[in-house]
Structure 1
Amino acid sequence: MLIGVPSRCSTHRAASTRTVGRLTPRRVATAVPPPTTSSTFEDFVDFILLLQKNIIKTAEDLEINRGRKFLVDRWERDAANPNAGYGITCVLEDGEVLEKAAANISVVRGTLSAQRAQAMSSRGRSNIDPRGGQPYAAAAMSLVFHSAHPYIPTLRADVRLFQVGEEAWYGGGCDLTPSYLDVADTQAFHRFWKAICDKYKPELHGELKEWCDKYFYIPARKEHRGVGGIFFDDLSSAEAGFDVEAFVREVGDSILPSWLPIVEHHRGEPFTDAQRQWQLLRRGRYIEFNLLYDRGIKFGLDGGRIESIMVSAPPLIAWKYNVVPEPGSPEEDLLKVLQQPRSWP
């Protein structure tokens, strides 16, 4: 989902105007300087616009056989107020590899509501007035790629910046939600992210993996949504002890390189109708987490732009009553890992 505030809270609001077409990244011109902005914020916006463009190009290259392209829907948060911000929602559907893919931008400015301010101050942000009223700026690039192949896991990732006054915090992450467990692929994915984290802080990967496992959990099912990755909220360089902005930019640039080897490993493998059905059942869990527990989606559904909020939903989903995998089956192997996360050396 599009992310624009800490704790993955969506900041979409109904668009009054929009443009649908090919991707042409540009910033909305403003007649009056926004209330909360800086060169750091504007530089980050430039970064995520280019990141989105590069991700779309790479994803479309996967679909060269069918020639599938992203639909680009640019929307304005408030046509009467150019300072309010905009979004670029990009969606590819019915691809050979990507059954549905979304890579989205949101750039939002506004005033903190009491609800948002209280949520932020409760996480230890002493400079946030819990009564609300402070101007903020938020920018994010987020993606969800749902594969047509049961052996290729769903990829979810984002990078985001939230600024109030002179203070700014970063968030983001990248994680996998497989239908079938491939131990070698999962190990390689986690090693990839550990190598990046190790550049900035020796214990960083362990901290962000644990954060990811804790966040993407479905209490009602007593299982995790996927095999994890990294996830972080509200990080600043002063508090983290390393260059968080540089780290977040490297995370953004590394999203697809962490996943593409898995695509190449499995895209040509045959699969059965039963395996496809299991994939659809697992997608049901994906939606359950998003609608029941994801903070960003729950917030965004309260008056947000519904097409942008729900754009990352899987295209096809199945539910069956009390599905129990056969003992010793690949399906049971997956559930064991989802019920008890493990380290992936």
Structure 2
Amino acid sequence: MTVAVLDTGVEVDHPALKGRVTTGPDFRKDGLQPGNPKWGRHGTAMASDVLKVAPKAQILSVRVIDDEVNEELDRKEFEELRQRGESPVAQGIRYAVEHGADVISMSLGDDDMLSSYDKSEAAAVAYAARKGVIVLASAGNSGDVLNGGSYPAGYAGVISVAAVKPDGERADFSTVHTYNDVAAPGVDIASASNTGGYRSVDGTSPACALAAGVVALMHAENPKLSPAQANDVLIATTHRPPGGGNAMLGYGLINADAAVKAAAAPPKDRTGAVAYNGNEHLAAPDGTPKTTHPELEQGLWMTGLIAAVAGLVSLIGGVFLARSGRRNDQAGTTHMMPPQGSYPS
């Protein structure tokens, strides 16, 4: 099976990857080249994580983000990228679909409270679904801060993957959101380094890559497996958390063995337009309503409240400082807000 890794690039000569990677175009177009330590750090790690689970898979590397986008890609540059038409992520999805990808793995997102829905990306995800390509994305790493939503995980048709610790509990950083579908290991994952050797990686990024490897095995078991069937099988075979699905881990930790076996005889794909008949609501394959969630733990709720109050105080303080700065230093520099771009999760 071919797994497209949409990321920061993949170093093809790493021993963990040699002979298994095809390099596609660079839609990020920032001038960096393979061999530069700033090129392919995250993408090389994620490709190796896919191959840990599916060692016979082929990796299609498509570069759509920068390893240092948080520091180097300001708002103006990001807006210029978007104004060219489709975003780099959207272009990457379409390229992967058109060049034989069976699965698309996107360990990236825009974890901020103003995360931007991109029409071109949503359309590209829909295009992938129509072509039968299964798309996964990392849920995001803002669970221990302000817990902002993240795209592409939030797009309809994307399997969103949360992260768990070795004990199976939610990793503190893993974003808590209703778009979460399943969870996978995301703490201390030994991953290939673009400069050689291995390094330990935490995040929903490796969780997504490991989940993509499982989906590749499912697809190898049943090449006719549709995106909807892959999602249904993953959800139906998870190690279900107490109380059923929730916003923390979706429908639970992936059970790779059970999922691959179940992929051979998946439930019928009933994807299609459905007439609205009143009070019906969306539900998971097991019938659990999407509107049903366990009560939020008090400690987590208090953490969120404290973070919100701290953020408000910082904002008010920043306003006063800014106004004071204008009075005392008319030649001062105006700082732009952080970029709302996509970056490694």
Question: Shared fold (TM-score greater than 0.5)?
Answer: no
The structure with the larger Rg is: 2
**TM-score normalised to the size of structure 2?**
0.31
Higher helix share: 1
> Which structure: greater strand fraction?
1
In the superposition, the TM-score normalised over structure 1's length comes to: 0.31
